[in-house]
């Protein structure tokens, strides 16, 4: 946040950016495929250290074999590892899914809880994963602070915090709670398509005029447009 910017000005600027991003990405949504809360919980856990596209690719086989927590908790470890092999870290991910499914059976009768306080008690589930599930499976507003979200809110001067939980609360205070889930989608889509980590497409950015980091990437419209992707890489 620029030193001369008041809190009121920051709120107005942040909300304007979100409105423009909503117009830019009207189709923004969770890019992990899922049919229900259990599937979303599982694929979100699997998405750590890999791409959404890879997770989406293994999802059909995974849930055809293990459609619910009971089936997954009883899975043969070697068979589950084979399905998860393309994701990398497949042994650790297999262990996570076995523990997660068993905990759902033992604590919640095989149902995914709809409260953050309960979700974060499950093995492998932190606030980021919990907020993804709450916002997209239960309609409960939540802010998803992934690497894209954190990078963008710091670039845009909304907060200087680096701890994900502190970022979540700092940014959440700038917006109405009802906007939190879609705000997360807007920023993540923008981070994947334009505001890249190494070379942001500043000259092709719809919110450049309100961004204090304008110029971190190419400002020439032609050079910048060449950096814009139509699909997120991760």
Residue 36 is given by DSSP the state S
pLDDT of residue 230: 83
Q: Is 177 a catalytic residue?
A: no
> What architecture is the 7-26+143-225 domain classified under in CATH?
Orthogonal Bundle (1.10)
| Integer Cα distance of 191 and 197 in angstroms | 8
Q: Which of 14, 25, 50, 44 is nearest to 152 (CA)?
A: 14
pLDDT of residue 34: 98
Domain extents in the chain: 7-26+143-225, 37-138
Token output for 48: 């750590």
| Integer Cα distance of 92 and 77 in angstroms | 11
Helices then strands (H, E): number in the chain?
12, 0
Regions of the chain short of the pLDDT cut 50: none
Q: Which of 192, 212, 215, 184 is nearest to 202 (CA)?
A: 215
Is 142:183 a contact under the CB 8 Å cutoff?
no
Q: How far is CA 14 from CA 82, 193, 225, in A?
A: 45, 19, 24
* CA 89-90-93 angle, 5° bins: 90
pLDDT of residue 89: 94
Q: Which of 52, 93, 128, 179 is catalytic?
A: 128
Q: Compute the 3-state secondary structure of the chain and give helix, strand, coil in percent, each to the nearest 5.
A: 60, 0, 40
Q: What is the pLDDT of residues 70-94, one digit of tens each?
A: 999 999 999 999 999 999 899 999 9
Q: Is 199 a catalytic residue?
A: no
Task: Return the H-helix or E-strand segment holding 13.
Answer: helix 7-24
pLDDT of residue 2: 52
CATH class entry, domain 37-138: mainly alpha
Q: Which of 52, 93, 146, 179 is catalytic?
A: 146
Task: Give the global pTM.
Answer: 0.93
pLDDT of residue 234: 52
pLDDT of residue 4: 81
C-alpha 125: how far from its chain's center?
13
pLDDT of residue 9: 97
């Amino acid at each position: 946040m620029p030193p001369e910017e008041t809190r009121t000005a920051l709120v107005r600027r942040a909300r304007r950016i979100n409105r423009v991003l909503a117009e830019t990405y009207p189709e923004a949504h969770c890019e992990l495929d899922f049919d229900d809360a259990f599937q979303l919980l599982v694929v979100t856990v699997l998405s750590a250290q890999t791409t959404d596209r890879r997770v989406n690719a293994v999802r059909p086989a995974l849930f055809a074999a293990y459609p619910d927590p009971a089936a997954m908790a009883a899975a043969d470890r070697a068979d589950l590892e084979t399905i998860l092999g393309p994701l990398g870290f497949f042994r650790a991910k297999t262990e996570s899914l076995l523990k997660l499914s068993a905990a759902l059976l033992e604590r919640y009768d095989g149902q995914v809880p709809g409260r953050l306080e309960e979700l974060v008690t499950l093995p492998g589930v932190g606030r980021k994963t919990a907020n993804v599930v709450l916002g997209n499976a239960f309609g409960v507003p939540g802010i998803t602070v992934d690497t894209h979200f954190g990078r963008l809110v710091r670039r845009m001067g909304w907060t200087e915090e680096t701890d994900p939980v502190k970022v979540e609360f700092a940014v959440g205070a700038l917006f109405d709670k009802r906007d939190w889930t879609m705000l997360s989608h807007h920023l993540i889509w923008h981070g994947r398509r334009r505001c890249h980590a190494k070379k942001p497409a500043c000259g092709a950015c719809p919110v450049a005029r309100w961004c204090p980091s304008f110029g971190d990437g190419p400002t020439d419209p032609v050079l910048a447009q060449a950096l814009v992707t139509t699909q997120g890489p991760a």
